Amino acid sequence: MFVPRPHLCDVLKREQRRLQLLCAPAGYGKTVLLREYLRGDAVWLSLGGQAQTLGGLSVRLADALGLASDTAPDALLRFFGLRGVVTGPASSLASQLLRGNARNCRSWLASEESLPGNVYSNLRLVFDDLPSEMPADLNHWFDQLLALENPHLQVLVTCRQRPDWNLPDLMLTGNLLELDARQLALRPDEFESLVNGLAPQTDSASREKLWHETGGWCAGVRLLPSALLGQYLERELLSRLSKEQREVLYGLAHLSKASAELCDQLWEGQQGARVFKRLLDSQAFLFPIDNQPGWFRLLPAVAQALQDRLSGVALNRLRLRACQLLGVLGHVDDAVEQALSADQPEVAATYMERLWLSWILSERHLDRFMDWRERIEPQLLQSSSRLIYLCAKALLFSGRLDEAEECLQRLGHFLPLPDPQRGQRLLANWQALYGTLQALRGNAEQARLHCHAALRYLTVRDWLSVLLCHCTLARIAMNTGELTEAHVLLEHSLELARRRGSREAEVLVNTDRVRLMMLQGQPGLAQALLRTELAQLTVSRTRPYPLLGRLLFLQGELLLQQGNMIEAGQVVQDGLLQVRDCSAPFVLNAYLLLSEMASRNGDIEKAHWLLYEAERRMHWGKIDSACYERPIALQKARIVAREQPDDTDKTVLSPVAGVPDYQDGLTPREVSVLKLLAEGMSVREVGHRLFISVNTVKTHAKNINVKLGACRRTQAINSAKAMGILA
C-alpha cells in the first residue's frame, strides 16, 4: 500500500541543493519517496547496494543517457559540466560533443543547430541504493561531479551508509540536503493511514503498541504483525554485516541502551567499540537516546526480532556483565533491569537503593519502578528505609493510597535511628509523603499539618520532599480560593526545581502554575506558559512520555474552555498516545474531557461509555477511589443536567470537566446571587432582594468565584456568560 508523503516532497522541492541525500536503514521508503517526488523526471540508476567500479558505473550511466557505452568517466564529467545537457542516440555528433573541449561544446549548444536527442536545461541524476563501500577512484569521481559549476545539475542519492564524499564542504556551501531516519519515519497520521489500509480492524491498544515498537519505520509496520520481519532483516541487514557485527548486534537486542564504551568492555576481545561504530555507520537501526549523548538503543521491533539469536548461558553472562558495567557508568535503572532479567532480584534490590529520588519523575520511570516492585520479593523491598521510601513514593504517585500508607507505616520500624538528626530527617520525609497522601484523600487540614511539620526539619538534601510539600499546600490553597498564597508557594517550588536542575520537576510545577493562572482569570498567560513547555518537551522525542501527555490534557482543557472542541479532541487523543499503559491518576482527565465533548455534541451514550472506560482504567491501575469517584460523579451530573435542560430543580453545572476539583456546579441559589450581582446590585441589595444576610451573600460570592475559577466579581460574571450560565 502506498502512503503519500507530501510534506517530504515539499521539503525536496523547496530545498533545491546540488546533493539531496536520503540516508536511512532499509524500509524507510527512500526509493518510493523519490519516485513520488520526481515522477520520472530524472536519469535513474538502481544500484541495489551492490559493489560498483568507476568503469562499470560509467557504462551504466552512459546507457541511461543514451550515449556511447565506451564514454570515459572524465568525458561524462565534461558533459555534465555543460550549461545544457544533450542526450540521445550515440550519433557521431554526440560523440564529438563528448570528445570535444568544453568551449566547443558550449558554442555548439549556443548555436541553434539541430542536434539528435533532447536538450535539458536541468538534469537530475538519481543513484538509488548506493553501496556502503566504494573504491577510492569512484568516490573521487563523485566529489568531482558534485563540485561542477553547472547550476542546472542535481544529484539525488539513497543509501544505508553515508558515502565517503566531501559532505562537510557541501554543507558549508549550502549544497547539501540530508534526510535521515528521523525525518523519513512515518508521522502519526501517515502511520494511521498505513494501518487503516493494511488492517483497518486493528484496535487502539494494538496500534499504540505497534507505533511504539516501530517508531514510524514503514517496513516494520507492514511486517511486524505478519512475523516476516526476521526474514526481512536477514536479507536486508544481517547479510550485509560481518560475523563480529552480527554477534554484537544480537547482544544489543537484549540491552535497553548501548555506547561505544559499554561495547568495548562487553566485547573487549573483539574490539567492541570499533564494531559498535561500524554498526552505527551501517545504519543497523541504532538510534540516539534523547538527552543522553553517546548512548543508543536498538529499535524495539528489530530487537524483538533478533532476541532469539542469543540465549542460555551466553545471554545470562552478558546480562550480568552489562548490569555491573551499567551500574559503574551511572545507569542504575538499566542495571536493575539487567539484574532482574538475569533472575538476580537481590542484585536488583541493591541497585535500586542507589536510585535518585527524583528519578521516578522522569520518562516512564514510574511504570518501570512499579513493574520491578511486582518482580521482587516484598522482604527485599522492605530491607532498608530508602527502599521503603521509594516504594511509598511510587505508590503515592500511582494513586494507590492504601498501599502507600501501609508502606509508610513500615518506616516506623527503622526509628529511632542511632543518629538523631538522621532520624529527624527520616520522619520529616515521612510527613511530606503522608501530608500529600492526606491531600489526595481530601483531608486538607491533616495535609497542612503534616506538610508544615515536615518543612521545619527538611534539609537542602531533601529538596524533592520540600517541593512536594509546597505543591501540595499550593493545591489546597487553590481549592479554598487562597490564590495569593498558592502563587507564593508555586514560585518557591519553581525556583527550587530550577536550582536543582530537574526539568521534570519544573514541568510539574508549571502545570500547577497554569491551573493557577486559569483560576486568576489569565487564560492568555496560561496558554503561553503551556505552549512553551510543550515546545520544549516535544523536540526530538520519539517514545511515549507521560509528562507530555499530562501537558496535552491540560492544553485540551484550555482549548475546550475557549470553545475549540475539534482541536481540543485531537490534542487529548495525542496525549493518550503518550500515556499508553500508564497507571497514574492524571490519565482520568483525558476521559473526563472527552466525555464532556461527547456530551456537548449530544452523544450521551458515548459520554457515559467514556466515563465507564475511565473507571475501568482506574481499576486496572489499582488507583484508590478517592482519586476518581468524585470527578466521575460530577461529570455524570453534568451529562444528566444537559439531558434535562428544562428541569429548573436541577443544579446548573459548569460545562468544563477538566478541572473538577476547582470547578463544581453552581447551586440554584448561587445562580440567583450571580444574576443579581451581574445586574449591578451591591451585596446588601442582593441580601434584601433574596431575604438573606450580607454574610451569606458574601459566602455565596466566594463559592461562585472558586467554582468559576475567578478572583473578582467581574471575572466570575464574564466566565458565567461564556459558559452559558448567564445570558
Residue bearing the bigger pLDDT, 571 or 668: 571
Residues 141 and 193 in one domain: no
Look at residue 118 and tell me whether its pLDDT is greater than 90.
Answer: no
> What is the structure's pLDDT at 660?
36
Residues 146 and 193 in one domain: no
For residue 409, being part of any structural domain is answered with no
Q: What is the pLDDT of residues 255-286, one digit of tens each?
A: 999 999 999 999 987 889 999 999 999 999 99
Categorize the per-residue pLDDT at 243 as very low, low, confident or very high, splitting at 50, 70 and 90.
Answer: very high
- Summarize the confidence of residues 226-241 as an average pLDDT: 92
For residue 585, being part of any structural domain is answered with yes
For residue 390, being part of any structural domain is answered with no
Instruction: Give DSSP secondary structure letters for 612-644.
Output: HHHHHHHHHTT--GGGTHHHHHHHHHHHHHHH-
Residues 89 and 174 in one domain: yes
Check which CATH number belongs to the domain holding 164 and give it: 3.40.50
Look at residue 665 and tell me whether its pLDDT is greater than 80.
Answer: no
> What is the structure's pLDDT at 494?
96
- Tally of domains in the chain: 5
Residue bearing the bigger pLDDT, 34 or 226: 34
Q: What is the pLDDT of residues 489-524, one digit of tens each?
A: 999 999 999 999 998 999 999 999 999 998 888 888
The answer for residues whose C-beta is within 8 angstroms of residue 546's C-beta and 6 or more apart is: 363, 364, 366, 367, 578, 579, 582, 584
**Cα torsion through 134, 152, 20, 60, rounded to 10:** -30
Domain span at 195: 188-226
Residues 209 and 174 in one domain: no
> What is the structure's pLDDT at 103?
39
Q: What is the pLDDT of residues 45-84, one digit of tens each?
A: 999 999 999 999 999 999 998 888 888 999 999 888 875 4
> What is the structure's pLDDT at 85?
46
Look at residue 120 and tell me whether its pLDDT is greater than 60.
Answer: no
Categorize the per-residue pLDDT at 581 as very low, low, confident or very high, splitting at 50, 70 and 90.
Answer: confident
Closest Cα to residue 590, out of 646, 547, 634, 550? 550
Closest Cα to residue 629, out of 590, 592, 595? 592
Residues 21 and 169 in one domain: yes
Q: Which residue has the cell 503522608?
A: 434
Residues 459 and 541 in one domain: no
Cα distance between residue 588 and residue 291, in whole Å = 29
Residues 705 and 616 in one domain: no
Instruction: Give DSSP secondary structure letters for 339-355.
Output: HHHTT-HHHHHHHHTTS
Residues 174 and 70 in one domain: yes
Residues 212 and 180 in one domain: no
**Least confident residue range of 208-217, 292-301, 342-351, 483-492:** 208-217
Burial 499-528 (b: 16+ CB within 10 A, else e): eeebbbbbbbbbbbbbbbbbbbbbeeebbe
Residues 169 and 207 in one domain: no
> What is the structure's pLDDT at 411?
84
Residues 20 and 53 in one domain: yes
Assign 3-state DSSP to the chain and report helix, strand, coil percentages, each to 5.
Answer: 65, 5, 30
> What is the structure's pLDDT at 121?
56
Q: What is the pLDDT of residues 279-333, one digit of tens each?
A: 999 999 999 988 789 999 999 999 999 999 999 999 999 999 999 999 999 999 9
Helix H or strand E segment including 192: helix 188-198
> What is the structure's pLDDT at 91?
37
Query: What average pLDDT is seen over the chain?
Result: 86
Look at residue 107 and tell me whether its pLDDT is greater than 60.
Answer: no
Look at residue 529 and tell me whether its pLDDT is greater than 50.
Answer: yes
> What is the structure's pLDDT at 645?
54
Residues 107 and 212 in one domain: no
Categorize the per-residue pLDDT at 526 as very low, low, confident or very high, splitting at 50, 70 and 90.
Answer: very high
> What is the structure's pLDDT at 317?
94
For residue 268, being part of any structural domain is answered with no
For residue 135, being part of any structural domain is answered with yes
